[in-house]
Structure 1
């Protein structure tokens, strides 16, 4: 399961999903690649995490342990 450090991660993921639909994960990956190319490791890690979160949000069934 991805680690979410703050609400901004969720907001970024939902914004990409609303804007890019099924291609939201590709957009997050592209943003991560751009950040890496610029040497910005913090934004690189952020967008890679968003990419993983988008995959989880795309599932319509619960994942992991249900309490």
Structure 2
């Protein structure tokens, strides 16, 4: 199965949790806005980080299991 998202470290998960606390289901949109902001600034590293957080949040909000369930 193709990898859906990549989380480099714990701080990305903490940022995703903070977004969920502040924005609820709109957290995905907020992460997308932040990734666009960094893309416009030319900051590829922060763009990729926020893009992966956006993908991670998308997976978290699904009602079904994604990937292997143990």
TM-score, scaled relative to structure 2: 0.86
Q: How does 1:1-67 map to 2 (within 5 A)?
A: 1-67=4-70
**Alignment size in residue pairs:** 67
Q: Which runs of 5+ in 2 are unaligned?
A: none
Within 2, Cα distance between the matches of 1:65 and 1:54? Answer: 18
Q: RMSD across aligned C-alpha pairs, in angstroms?
A: 1.1
Tell me the alpha carbon deviations over residues 35-62 of structure 1, each in whole angstroms, 9 at most, x when there is no partner.
Answer: 0111101000000000000011112443
Moved over 6 A (4+): none
- The 10-residue stretch of structure 1 (54-63 or 27-36) with the greater mean CA deviation from structure 2: 54-63
Q: TM-score, normalised by structure 1?
A: 0.89
Equivalent-residue separation in structure 1 for 2:67 and 2:28 (angstroms) = 21
